[in-house]
Each structure stands twice: as structure tokens, then as C-alpha cells.
Amino acid sequence: METYRRRWGDRKDGRKLRSLDPITRVSSYIMVNRSGASNYFIDSVDIDEIERYIRHKRRDENLSGFGIMHVLIAAYVRCISQKPAANRFISGQKVYQRLGIEINMAVKVEMTTEGAETIIKIRPERDATATDIYHLMTKEIEASRSASNSDFDKLAKVFNLIPGLVLKFAVWFLKLLDYFGLVPKSLLDLSPFHGSMFITSMGSLGIPPVFHHLYDFGNVPIFCSFGAKQRRTELLPDGAVTERRYITYTWVTDERICDGFYYSSAFKLIKSILKDPFQLDSPPEKVYEDVE
């Protein structure tokens, strides 16, 4: 929010929502863990328009690596601009609106079976286009592959050096700090457990998408996974038979951040964007704010 001023009870990564209905406020005390408050949703979409859009971006804008991952992330960001409650999170049994959009994903440092993985995090603006998403991802991926060790890898190595019993205490202490919103911002910026969404592609592995669990540590409320392309034979209304290509995608969500009606409207919006991805070439006409 442009006019946002931090108030008592806010966090470094979010502002506390103070006008929510009682059931939303109480639910996080009843369902304490994110894993126990998870909902699972699966859907699929015809990718004819997505593939036409990908060819357009690669040919006309010279975005050689542009693909389905960029379209999905751009559709999610566009959804957040119109449905801001989907960018809330729970910390310390309180509901917060995230101050920005943070999307986490695992990438291969080397494109081999034995190649190590690292985590990158992109922070698009709420009015970002698909081209903006592409450039953000490309910048972070290239940085992670050119550096011998990313900041995330260095942090992970530090934790790896701590003896098991001490590490258990260290993680407990971090959870305590996180509960009260006292984790340093430098750690929040690196943490793959803090962000708007975690996304993973099973398509590159040639398998269907998984329902990936949410982490109880941190505050990521949404995990998205999408699978390999599939061919389906369909019967048209006129009796003709045609073959179409689809991708299937799954969402695991923290049900405490908003109600089912809101989630369903957000998923419908994302699917409508995936069916007409060319709208992602322009910023949204208006970006909506969440409640106080």
C-alpha cells in the first residue's frame, strides 16, 4: 500500500488485518498448524492458447526461455492484484496481508541428474506483466547459476554445520522469533519458508503434479504444482472428435486466510487468464487493496 505506515502489531513482511470477522480471527487458534488447515484443489486447462502465447513471446519479443511456468506465475500475480486476500498469511495466530508478492521456487544449479538445487525468490510488482515475470526469473536463475554459492546456500551450509541437538534448539528459537515477528528481515528475504507462494514444475520430470504439503515453519500459505502436458480425445457438440492438449495443476492452500468462496473466485480468475493469456501483456486496469 502506498499510504501504508507500520503500526503496532505489524510485521516486517506484513500488516496485521484488524477488521476481519470473528470466525476468521478465531480459526487460527483452533487450527494451529498450517498442515492441519490445508485444502487441496486440482484443475486442468486447455493449453492451445497458452502455447500460442508462448510462441508469440519467443518469436516477437525474443524471450527464448519463456514457458508455462512464466504464464502460471504471471496469472497468479494478476489474480493477487484483483483478489488481494489470496496474498494473506498466518503468523503467531494472527492474519496479515503481505506487503509485497514473493514467489519461491527450486532451480537446478546444473542441468544434470546429480546437479544441486537452490531456492530463488522473485518479488514482482502487483501490476507486473508476463514479460516482467520472465525478466525477474531469468535474472535470479542466472545469478544463482553464476555464483559458486548463493546467499541461501551459504545460510544452509551454516545450519548444516550446527550439531543436531543445538540445531534443534536453533530451529525452535527461530520459530519463537517468527511467532512474534522478530526474525531479522535479512533472514526473511532468504527463507524459502516465507513468501506468497511456492511453485514447482513436475512437467520437466514428465509426471503429473503432486499435492505438495505446506510448511508449518514460516508463513507460505499456497503451494502450486503443475504437471506434464497431456493429450485428450474429446467429443464436440456436433459429434466430431478432436484431440486437445492440457496441463493439470494443483493448489494446496491455507484455508484460514480467506473463505472458500473467495478462493473459488480466485481460482476461476486464474483459469480465465490461462485461457486468454494475451491479457498478461498489459498491466491490470486497477490494483485492489485488502481490508484494513
pLDDT one digit per residue (tens) for the chain, 292 residues: 556 678 888 999 999 999 999 988 899 999 999 999 999 999 999 999 999 999 999 999 999 999 999 999 999 999 999 999 999 999 999 999 999 999 999 887 665 566 677 889 999 999 999 999 999 999 998 888 776 666 777 788 888 888 989 999 999 999 999 999 999 999 999 999 999 999 999 988 889 999 999 999 999 999 999 999 999 988 888 888 888 999 999 999 999 999 999 999 999 999 999 999 999 999 999 999 999 9
pLDDT of residue 113: 60
pLDDT of residue 208: 93
Measure CA 30 to chain center.
25
Q: What are phi and psi of 164, to 5 degrees?
A: -55, -50
Query: Do the Cβ atoms of 25 and 233 come closer than 8 Å?
Result: no
**pTM of the complete model:** 0.92
| Long-range contact pairs involving 22-30 (C-beta distance under 8 Å, separation at least 24) | 24/95, 24/256, 24/258, 24/259, 25/95, 27/255, 27/256, 28/90, 28/93, 28/94, 28/95, 28/256, 29/93
Query: Do the Cβ atoms of 219 and 196 come closer than 8 Å?
Result: no
Domains of the chain: 14-281 (3.30.559.10)
DSSP, residue by residue, the chain: -TT----TT--SSEEE--S--HHHHHHHHHS-SSGGGEEEEEEEEE-HHHHHHHHHHHHHS--TT--HHHHHHHHHHHHHHH-GGGGEEEETTEEEEESS--EEEEEESSSSTT--EEEEEE---TT--HHHHHHHHHHHHHHHHHSSS-HHHHHHHHHHTS-HHHHHHHHHHHHHHHHTT-S-HHHHHH-TTSSSEEEEESGGGTSPPP-PPPPSSS---EEEEE---EEEEEE-TTS-EEEEEEEEEEEEEETTSS-HHHHHHHHHHHHHHHHSGGGGGS--S--PPPP-
pLDDT of residue 41: 97
